[in-house]
Structure 1
């Protein structure tokens, strides 16, 4: 089981990489195939939307056929195939197609690990284990920053994608051989996603599941690069370092949130306080005048640190879900989180207003979208019932 979980964890590193690497390839893709920020916002949004849509079949497959076949088949077809399509892209729509396929391939890997945690390990450890996988997986954010910048400059972005296609395929094959499925649930049989909506406590967890991940994922995955280039004239190396700083903050946040429910005896108030900090970072980015590259990067890093509550939100929701619906339960929460990222990515591309002055004003509607969504979710989440296992 440990070797299989290690492979699933590495697959999640790839998943985090694929959702964020476009931010540092905006320059080369614009030069080679004419892909502008709006094109890449659409492509990035498609990754998240397809990823989210796949949670319905993924959740059912986890409960019915197990994590081994679910993760290995989809990662091989979507991950390996999507990277190949990206490597041979000749137009912006090819990038969108590739990102959609990559969304299919990445959809099951984290949920496969979470399903194993939910079925095999004590409930009180779920948040810590979930946070550990998320924190390690977020290393993909770092690989999507400076290493990709260096690889694209050294061997070109196409050769880089060929290598990633091979790595994705080999990882999928390893999962198919080494991951072990948990035994069947002993209590309860059958069920569907509709049964989850009959659990009243989940309805007040849904809003924070919808909103907690979108701001950090959207900024880190797409907007940090254009913001720093347009506002401060930052070069690719500076953008890479800034993206790395935000990625490190997200990793630190994931590990900090993991055991916090056991430290403080509450999940709800840890989640609420952390996301309130993320909201303050967004408000500062909207209202404060430009403060320089590194001060702005510090605010982006604060956003990433505070908004890393995803594993604890998953644990809060999972606590209300019976074992025989565990796969569907974690998949539904993931659908809400990732689906919102996709929708806001597409919407942010339309809200972005290039060419206006001052340059930072072009990004204020994008930041307002994220801030408003998070503020509304926090207001509703105040009514949620706490549960700590």
Structure 2
């Protein structure tokens, strides 16, 4: 399984890159395509919403047939086709369609890894291994920050997209060659529950308090890193593309560090619930500082973005919390359902925030616009954290 997981990790790194790279290219896309901040936010949100909706067929395929063929096909033709379309885009609509195709292509990559972890490795290791692959994949955030800014400045963004097209095709082929489907689980426990579907999971009350936090927790750092950091730093602080690349690079590095740290913490902290709750409180605190002092200094702002990125990467631990309640025969649909809430939440939050702070508000009163954004994040994340307090745990499934 190891070579296949390594290839999937590379695919997930590209997935992280594609969900975040618009922040750095926003200036070029505005100049060349006439894309407004709202249109760019919609394009970013489209990636997440299409990605989220694709989780339902992805989950069904994982449980019925395994990850190899489906992941290879979608990543090659979906992500590859979207990147090629973007390289030759001439309007913002082309950009939006391209981001949707890339979202379809990236949809199965991380879930294929989680499915293999759940089927082929001990349950107590699920959180740790999930955190490790998320940490590795988040290096795509790093590549989509300062390195992308340098390459786009040196060669132009369209040649860079053509290079990404070639990389995407190569990884798609490697997935087909090296990923192995885990053995089918036909034991009695696997068939203890008759039938079973996404509806079965949605009816499980143990998951209800987890759904809202899953939908919002990652949406805050992903939304800021993926798009809002660029117009915020540009309009409020006058930052240029290299400066934006540097700030988003620090946030991306913090997101990697957060993923790495959460993995061991899952084994050291006796409660996944309180680990997730504590991380959420830290993110709320960072957003509160920016809401109160949105333009105090670039140093304070960067520090709060770094703190948000670090503490906001508890996605693997939230997934591990929910994984404890999945029936064995519904593992594929379980992880994709939770991913639907997580990634779909990012897309919906992007659309809401785009409607909340419009282009004219950003241009005329940028401080007020982004102050509104940060207060929105504070309120919504605080509400779902309160709901999460009702979540149950199964300490018997925690590692010793």
TM range (shorter): over 0.9
RMSD (Å), alpha carbons: 1.1
Contact 2:4/2:175 (CA < 8 Å) preserved in 1? yes
Deviations 1:219-246 (A, max 9, x none): 0000111101111111111100100000
Match of 2:363 in 1: 355
Superimposed CA distance per residue, residues 188-232 of structure 1 (whole angstroms, 9 cap, x where no aligned partner): 355211111232211121121111100000000001111011111
Paired residues of 1:229 and 1:239 also in contact (CA < 8 A): yes
Look up the SS of the partner of 1:234 in the other structure: coil
CA contact (8 A) 1:267 1:387 kept: no
Give the equivalent residue in structure 1 for 2:190. Answer: 188
Shift of 1:289: 5.0
1:21 aligns with 2:21: yes
After TM superposition, list the pairs within 5 Å mapping 1:64-143 onto structure 2.
64-143=64-143
Match of 2:305 among 277, 297, 300: 300
Residue pair 2:235, 2:363 contacting (<8 A) in 1 also: no
Matched with 2:6 is 6
**Residue in structure 1 matched with residue 243 of structure 2 by the alignment:** 238
SS at match of 1:354: helix
Partner Cα separation in structure 2 for residue 369 and residue 111 of structure 1 = 30
Contact 1:214 1:370 in 2 (8 A): no
Please give the per-residue CA displacement for 1:82-103, whole angstroms capped at 9, x wherever unaligned. 0000000000000000000000
Corresponding residue number in structure 1 for 2:170: 170
Number of residues paired by the alignment?
A: 388
Q: Distance in 1 between matches of 2:110 and 2:30?
A: 31
* 1:218-229 equivalence runs, <5 A: 218-229=223-234
Q: Deviations over 1:141-165 (max 9, x none)?
A: 0000111111111111111111111
- Distance in 1 (alpha carbons) for counterparts of 2:203 and 2:92: 42
The answer to whether the 8 Å contact 1:266/1:387 transfers is no
For residues 150-299 of structure 1, what are the structure 2 equivalents within 5 Å? 150-186=150-186, 187-189=189-191, 191-288=196-293, 290-299=295-304
* 1:290 counterpart SS class: coil
Query: Structure 1, residues 329-378: CA drift from partner, whole Å, max 9, x if none?
Result: 00000000100100111111121222333x32111222222222211110
Distance 2:40 2:247 in 1: 19
Retained in 2: the 8 A contact 1:214–1:337?
yes
Deviates more, 1:8-17 or 1:378-387: 378-387
Structure 1 runs (4+) deviating above 3 angstroms are none
* Residue aligned with 1:259, SS: helix
Task: Please give the alpha-carbon distance, in whole angstroms, between the structure 2 residues aligned to 1:42 and 1:64.
Answer: 34
Question: Which residue in the other structure is 2:385 paired with?
Answer: 378
1:264 deviates by 1.5
CA distance in 2, matches of 1:111, 1:166: 23
Quote how far apart the aligned CAs of 1:177 are.
Answer: 1.1
The answer as to whether partners of 2:8 and 2:175 remain within 8 angstroms in 1 is yes
Structure 1 residues 123, 361: CA separation in 2 closer, same or farther (over 3 Å shift)? same
Give the structure-1-normalised TM-score: 0.98
Query: Which structure 1 segments of 5+ residues have no match?
Result: none
Take 2:249 and 2:64, find their aligned partners in 1: how far apart are those partners? Answer: 39
